[in-house]
Structure 1
Amino acid sequence: MLDSFKVVALALTSLSFSGIGVSTLPKSALAGEPIIDRNCRRYERTREVFQQIPPQNQARILTTSFFQVNNQKYSLQLLKFPNSTGVLCLWKPNARLPQRLKDVSIIQDKVIEKFEKDPSRPANYIIIVKGEKMEDILKTSYRLNLTNPNQPKVTPLIRVYKN
């Protein structure tokens, strides 16, 4: 019987030490990927940032695609938000952080159903955007031309209308 009391005492002692160790961890540390906002900015995952940027405004990286223009390597990321809208971010050569793709408001912050490289044209992508509820358009296919990444061009290809 004396042995069982020693085992219980030892278990309680080790449990109290582990409780002390957990309570001394920094309170601002949260595990996981960085928080990404609609401007492609990345933030360290802390309680303060989590309160500042609510979950509905936090993206996850859906896909990353690489392309080359004038012997420079770029990457294009599609971020997806909880409301299913997407944002395109461009990583330029030697850049530390991506930037929100500019001058493409027709496809930014929309529900992007498909995102793929155009196999017939380098630095071009086919993007299918779902129409909004109040529109007569069901979906639209666009070509995103990034042969000049500083001046992207978006061309509508096909529009599918609601009945």
Structure 2
Amino acid sequence: MLNFSKVIALALTSLSFYTASISTILKPAFAGEPIIDRNCHRHERTQAVFQKIPPQNQARILLTSPFKVNNQKYALQLLKFPNSTGVLCLWKPNARLPQRLKDLPIIQDKVIEKIEKDASQPATYIVTVRGEKAEDILRRAYRLNLTNPNQPKATLLVRVYKK
């Protein structure tokens, strides 16, 4: 027969297991891809990062396109944000993380509808950007030249106007 002290010990042990189980279940778990911000930086999924970078500023990778310049391998990456805007990032050789393409305000943080390699020129892409609501321009197409990845250049090819 169980005496009173054994019943109390058993009850306290059960309660401690129950408390440990509940605290484990209630602890938020973040799994999956890292969070990517507008500067192409990757962040581990933690509660602190979720508070610092709200969902509208969290990107997903839409495209990764490798290319070669001077026998060095690079990759162009397109990040897409919930508001449909895009950011272009560049993976350089031996780099741990990509970098946001600099000095391209005509393309960066715009609605990028399409990006494709220009078959006629190496390290060159055709980027189609949708016009903003307040503009009378429907779309613009740019040639993005990455033959010098440290100084990317975008040249306007075509403008399509609204009627």
TM-score (norm: length of structure 1): 0.85
CA–CA separation in structure 2 for the residues paired with 1:46 and 1:27: 11
CA–CA separation in structure 1 for the residues paired with 2:136 and 2:161: 6
Contact 1:61 1:77 in 2 (8 A): yes
CA–CA separation in structure 1 for the residues paired with 2:25 and 2:93: 38
CA–CA separation in structure 1 for the residues paired with 2:26 and 2:90: 34
CA–CA separation in structure 1 for the residues paired with 2:26 and 2:110: 38
Structure 1 segments, 4+ long, off by >3 Å, are: 16-22, 24-29
CA–CA separation in structure 1 for the residues paired with 2:131 and 2:108: 13
CA–CA separation in structure 2 for the residues paired with 1:152 and 1:52: 30
Change in Cα spacing, 1:35 to 1:18, as seen in structure 2 (3 Å) is: farther
User: Paired residues, what number?
Assistant: 149
- 1:24 partner SS: helix
TM-score (norm: length of structure 2): 0.85
Q: How does 1:1-163 map to 2 (within 5 A)?
A: 20-21=20-21, 23-24=23-24, 27=27, 29-163=29-163
Contact 1:40 1:100 in 2 (8 A): yes
Structure 2: runs of 5+ lacking an equivalent: 1-15
Structure 1: runs of 5+ lacking an equivalent: 1-15
Q: Which AA in structure 2 matches 1:52?
A: K
Contact 1:28 1:48 in 2 (8 A): no
Contact 1:117 1:124 in 2 (8 A): yes
CA–CA separation in structure 1 for the residues paired with 2:21 and 2:27: 13
Q: State the percentage of identical aligned residues.
A: 76
